[in-house]
Amino acid sequence: MTKKVYLAGDIMSKGSQMQRQWELNEIKKKNISVYDPKDEDDINDKKNMSVEENNKLAEKIVKKDSENIYNADVVIIEPQRYAEGTICELGQLKGRRDFAKLIKEKIKNNSSIEEIEELIDTVLNQKIFAHLEDIRRTSIPEIGDRRSFYVNQYVYGVTLDLTKGKGFEEFEDILNQIE
């Protein structure tokens, strides 16, 4: 029996929110617990958020959503091509499943704990660099709809996590670091 569903899909437009709400209502009719990121007020209620909270939003989203993805028995996902955060969630699910398969294969082949730890360390120690070559990136403060550029906060949060907090770097800086 399904205990908890994670509902993943675009939530950036009113139409998408209506679609997620309909899906949520249909799941709840089955008496199944469901986590829907759009209903997470401590993330989505911008009116009651301080500047500091808003500037740590990416990390908060990744922590909360990842925790709920991992604790779900079922994930229902609509990865529309424009839904960057949802596509990132899909990649996270794929990576998690692939790694679980690797661990299971190691166990099946009677690998030692040391060999399994070596595999884990290889993944944990992999250096990941991210860059974003969009000329609209700026450190000039922008307000409201007058933003020249944005990055989906789930995608950015995963990027921060994978790059150990560095986020996007300049490509030239990355080249210098890998020499």
Angle CA 87–166–81, to nearest 5 = 15
Strand partners, 7: 76
> Which regions of the chain are under pLDDT 50?
none
Backbone Cα Rg of the chain: 19
Average pLDDT value over all residues in the chain: 90
Tokens, residue 70: 């991992």
Total-model pTM: 0.83
pLDDT digits (tens, 9 = 90+) for 163-177: 999 999 988 899 888
pLDDT for the residue 45: 66
Q: What is the DSSP letter of 12?
A: S
Q: How far apart are CA 67 and CA 84, in angstroms?
A: 19
